[in-house]
Amino acid sequence: MNLEFFIAKRLITGKEHKISISAPIIKIAIAAIAIGLVMMLIAIASGVGLKHKIREKVAAFNGHIQIYNYDNNTSEVSVVPVSLEQDFYPKFTTIDGISHVQAVASKGGVIRTEETFEGVIAKGVGKDYNWVAFNEYLVEGRLPNYLDELNEEVLVSRILSSKLKLKIDDTFFTFFLKNGSTTETPNQRRFKVVGIYDSGFEEFDAKYLFVDIRHIQRMNKWEETQVGKFEVFLDNFDDLEEKSNEIYNKTLSSLDSQNIKSKYYKIFEWIGLFDFNIALIIGIMIIVGGINMITALLVLILERTQMIGILKALGSANWSIRKVFLYNAVYLIGVGLFWGNVIGLGILWLQHKFKLFKFPNPKEYYIDYIPVHIDFWMVLVLNIGVLVLCLLMLLIPSFIITKITPVKAIKFE
């Protein structure tokens, strides 16, 4: 039998434990652990959830990695075409972890209506385009159908439709320069709005118009097998750097590649700061919870001074007596962690299901509600980490037991 555990269990279950002087202090310590865990769970889940959402939105417009011809073009407009006849298209079989490859082309233009005009980038997409992300962003109408013959259907953003006063089934004209020439008569295309999307990412929504890629090919006088670039999607975003290097090495020397981290480095530097904020909150909460547990442990030791003296008189070692109080502390921390998990995970589940909490200024975070991401291993590691760190913090105050002498302790009142 584990004597220290037996004594600790009797102390916890004893009636005097519930009516003792230390009872309210113990309850405060448990509440501090529970509240701290709730705050940590919310900080991690919301921080990671926001990072995932922003990454998903950037990838929805660009893919995770782009493959294109080497040229001096630094704009979003496709200038030098790439052949579709590549070993990695339509499936990148030589590298694992790639979920999808799609061909796109972009061309700058100006939308002209009776009342106003607006500069846009027409992104040409085809039969292979992955519309999954835009099912979530679609707010009106439907997605364009580019599976059959060339058509006029387009998908516009809510921002553009508001500026240009366009509604579903409205038609409009867009003018495109011929090969960048300002002297030639521009190409004119008539389009019809079939869908309106809102990703919340104003940087993209304000300029992107989705059209049939065959319009871009015809205006640029490209062949059907020529496109602007390829967008590659990965199974796991964490493999971005590794897969970027693999793709660069597996493609022709005439082709270059770039991942979204390097292309939009400012955005990813910004969301990288979330990790520091999360670590700061976790550190503060663990310190607060630990200090409360230290206070509770010291009160428990003070309240059980006579018991400590008797155990020492019977021959118990200092470490053995310290273990009794550490077992007691583990129980109290465990109770706090239990209620913290119940409350914290409950709040996160409600937020994930019903999106109860919104951002006061959605434009700053590219999304109107606070997204959450719950991972089992994240929760498990957090709980174990809190338990271990709090116990380590309690080792030092438990050392006070070694300073208690049996004679004075038995007389202590």
Residue that terminates a domain, selected from 229, 253, 277 = 253
Answer with the residue of higher pLDDT: 311 or 384. 384
Q: Are residues 205 and 354 in the same domain?
A: no
324 assigned to some structural domain: yes
Q: Among 41-50, 189-198, 209-218, 322-331, name the one with the lowest average pLDDT.
A: 322-331
pLDDT at residue number 181: 57
Listed residue (225, 106, 228) closest to 176, CA to CA: 106
pLDDT in tens, 322-355: 999 899 899 999 999 999 999 999 999 999 999 8
Average pLDDT of every residue of the chain: 90
Show the tokens assigned to 396: 């030092």
Q: Is residue 177 very low, low, confident or very high in pLDDT (cuts 50, 70, 90)?
A: confident
Is 199 found in the same domain as 288? no
In this structure, the answer to whether residues 142 and 227 fall within a common structural domain is yes
Residues 163 and 241 in one domain: yes
The answer to which of 158-162, 182-186, 288-292 has the lowest mean pLDDT is 182-186
- Residues 124, 184: one domain? yes
Q: Please compute the mean of the pLDDT values over residues 315-321 and round it to a whole number.
A: 89
377 plus 324 within the same structural domain: yes
Q: How many residues does the structure list for the chain?
A: 413
Same domain? 228 vs 276: no
Q: Does 198 lie in the same domain as 129?
A: yes
232 lies in the same domain as 84: yes
Residues spanned by the domain of 43: 3-57+268-411
Shared-domain flag, residues 94 and 235: yes
Whether residue 66 is contained in a domain is answered as no
| Domain count within the chain | 2
- State residue 413's pLDDT score: 55
Q: Is residue 403 part of a domain?
A: yes
CA neighbor of 102 nearest in space, from 39, 60, 158: 60
Residues 305 and 376 in one domain: yes
Work out the burial of residue 356: count CB atoms within 10 Å of its CB; fewer than 13 is exposed, 13-18 middle, 19 or more buried: exposed
Q: Of 223, 253, 283, which one is at a domain's C-terminal end?
A: 253
Rounded Cα distance, 172 and 157, in Å: 14
Q: Do 80 and 224 belong together in one domain?
A: yes
SS (H, E, C) 233-273: EECCHHHHHHHHHHHHHHCCCCEEEEEHHHHCHHHHHHHHH
Per the domain annotation, does 272 fall within a domain? yes
246: number of CA atoms within 13 Å, CB side? 15
Distance, CA of 404 to CA of 60 (rounded, Å):
66
